[in-house]
Structure 1
């Protein structure tokens, strides 16, 4: 995670991701995190099970998230599926959503 980013830059990206998540989270979502690994913003989605509908929803979330950005934003996403322990907050950048487990 880059320390070169301002709090304003981080907060902007978090707000945009939260807006993209509205109405998209199902009970299968365990956690959604945002990390910056220069030059990319990385969206991490943790799902309990492989569900096609949720994977399609993630594609929509990423599309909506990038639509709010300027053309220079570099963004990647990853999907982690399983019931293994979730990483610690400090290991994933900013946790935007985490269900109670």
Structure 2
């Protein structure tokens, strides 16, 4: 895949994920990261607490995200809970959402 097509693909996936998250993000969401592992798009949701309603929101986000795609989309996601330091992402990853956090 050439660089222009790759960038276009990334931009489309970021846009579709952002559209899918509209109205779904609560203060419990700390960060959402989109990455790619070969041909599989990987979405990581970092939540502060394990709240059932927010887990349901993640499922709704993934459902909406999948609806924006064609049938060849390969996607997996995971939810990570905790209030520790957020990871530093590789340059290949896209942070799609990150809340402001202030630590003393």
**TM-score of the aligned structures, taking structure 2 as reference length:** 0.89
Q: Which has the larger radius of gyration?
A: 2
Q: Secondary structure at the match of 1:69?
A: coil
Bigger Cα displacement from structure 2, 29-38 vs 91-100? 91-100
Separation in 1, partners of 2:58, 2:92 = 18
Separation in 2, partners of 1:86, 1:53 = 22
| Structure 1 unaligned regions, length at least 5 | none
1:13 and 2:13 matched: yes
In structure 1, what is the equivalent of residue 37 of structure 2? 37
Separation in 2, partners of 1:64, 1:35 = 18
Deviation track 1:9-62 (CA, whole Å, cap 9, x = no partner) reads 100000000000000000000000100001210110000000000000000000
**Correspondence 1:59-78 to 2 at 5 A:** 59-78=59-78
**TM-score of the aligned structures, taking structure 1 as reference length:** 0.92
Q: Secondary structure at the match of 2:25?
A: coil
Using the TM superposition, give the Cα deviation of residue 88 of structure 1 relative to its aligned residue in structure 2, in angstroms: 1.2
Separation in 1, partners of 2:92, 2:53 = 25
What's the RMSD between the two structures over aligned residues?
Answer: 1.7
Separation in 2, partners of 1:83, 1:56 = 20
Separation in 1, partners of 2:40, 2:11 = 16
Q: Secondary structure at the match of 1:89?
A: coil
